[in-house]
């Protein structure tokens, strides 16, 4: 039990490092954020209706 508690933070750290070192992913997320801020997104309600999401 002790091992699983000490391993989880390490796993989270490694996952975080993997994600933040992926510059292509970060660039894409930043571009998406800019698009949303510029009003280029599609409202969630419209997506739900289009694809029949409950």
**The pLDDT of residue 27:** 96
**The pLDDT of residue 4:** 64
* Tens-digit pLDDT profile for residues 4-53: 677 899 999 999 999 999 999 999 999 999 999 999 999 999 999 999 99
**The pLDDT of residue 17:** 95
pTM of the model: 0.58
Name the H helices within the chain: 2-20, 23-37, 44-51
**The pLDDT of residue 7:** 85
1: pLDDT strictly greater than 50: no
What would you report as the CA-atom Rg of the chain, rounded to the nearest whole angstrom? 18
């Amino acid at each position: 039990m002790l091992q699983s508690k000490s391993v989880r933070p390490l796993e989270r750290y490694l996952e975080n490092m993997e994600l933040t070192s992926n510059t292509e992913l970060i660039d894409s997320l930043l571009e998406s954020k800019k698009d949303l801020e510029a009003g280029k997104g599609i409202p969630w309600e419209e997506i739900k209706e289009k694809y029949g999401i409950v």
